[in-house]
Amino acid sequence: MSKTQAKQEKINEPKANLIPIFLMGKRYDVPDTLTIQKATEYAGFQLIRGCGCRGGICGACGTVYRFANDYKLYYGLACQTVVEPNMYITQIPFFPANKAVYNIEELEPTAETIVKYYPEIFKCMGCNNCTLSCPMDIKVMDYVAAAMSGNIQQAAELSFDCVMCGLCAARCPAEEVQYNIAILARRLYGRHILPQADHLAERVKQVEQGRYESMLKELMKADKSQLMDLYTKRQLEPDNADEMWEPEDKSHL
């Protein structure tokens, strides 16, 4: 790129304004184009916890914020929420949660199972705080109600987008851990209600019969550059591929 082009690109760059935000009560002036996560780093913090995928999937960056002179609390994922002037921000990278231990094979997909492991579900008072605090716009109160009534399928489907950020649990006056109830519902649904996929059963059988052992051994022998080469040259499935799509090289199927 020539110097003139570089200068022109610089001129064309959208200009970010510096705006005040407050992290742990201290003011920092940050570009208004940044997410809370990037603004926190811009302010000098190094995120070792409370930061994972940076793409709205892992749920590690649950955040609560308020604006000066506004009584309301707001919620978001730090990696997805763009800063606004006078945000008072606190990240909740971890929320302590009651997590039941069970063997899913031995359980029945019923309300009794949910209640056995999470009896506090009956303390739900229908306040809807959980739904209002969910950054994924999930109807949290509704999936809790569905689980309580034994509608495991509905609880599983309503909670499907949960990223386990913990914000709902942080706001629950009944001390529920909604997302762990939801995970139990989805496991019950997947293991005991949803019909088994024939193609998956077939593939599992092939794996168990050792069909992929030699390929795995080849990969184990490859060095880093060979692995990188294999990875970069692999044929990608097109975005618009239908379910019959297959790669040209079928030797690994």
Q: Where does this chain bind ligand SF4 (CB under 6 A)?
A: 124-130, 133-134, 136, 138, 140-141, 144, 162-168, 171-174, 176, 178-179
51 binds ligand FES (CB under 6 A): yes
Options 23, 30, 60, 130; binder of ligand FES; rule CB under 6 A: 60
77 binds ligand FES (CB under 6 A): yes
Q: Which does 83 bind (CB under 5 to 8 A by kind): ligand FES, ligand SF4, none?
A: none
Options 41, 54, 116, 153; binder of ligand FES; rule CB under 6 A: 54
Residue 53 or 230 with smaller CB distance to ligand FES:
53
| Minimal distance, residue 77 CB to ligand FES, in Å | 5
Residue 165 and residue 175: Cα distance in Å, rounded?
15
Residue 124 or 163 with smaller CB distance to ligand FES:
163
Options 19, 21, 23, 79; binder of ligand FES; rule CB under 6 A: 79
Only segment of 56-64, 94-102, 147-155, 245-253 that touches ligand FES (CB under 6 A): 56-64
Map the footprint of ligand FES across residues 114-173, applying CB under 6 A.
Answer: 163
Options 23, 39, 61, 181; binder of ligand FES; rule CB under 6 A: 61
For the chain, the three-class secondary structure string (H helix, E strand, C coil) is CCHHHHHHHHHHCCCCCEEEEEECCEEEEEECCCEHHHHHHHCCCCCCCCCCCCCCCCCCCEEEEEECCCCCCEEEECCCCECCCCEEEEECCCCCCCCCCCCHHHCCCCHHHHHHHCHHHHHCCCCCHHHHHCCCCCCHHHHHHHHHCCCHHHHHHHCCCCCCCCHHHHCCCCCCCHHHHHHHHHHHHHHHHCCCCHHHHHHHHHHHCCCCHHHHHHHHHCCHHHHHHHHHHCCCCCCCCCCCCCCCCCCCC
Name the residues that contact ligand FES, by CB under 6 A: 51-54, 56-61, 77-79, 163
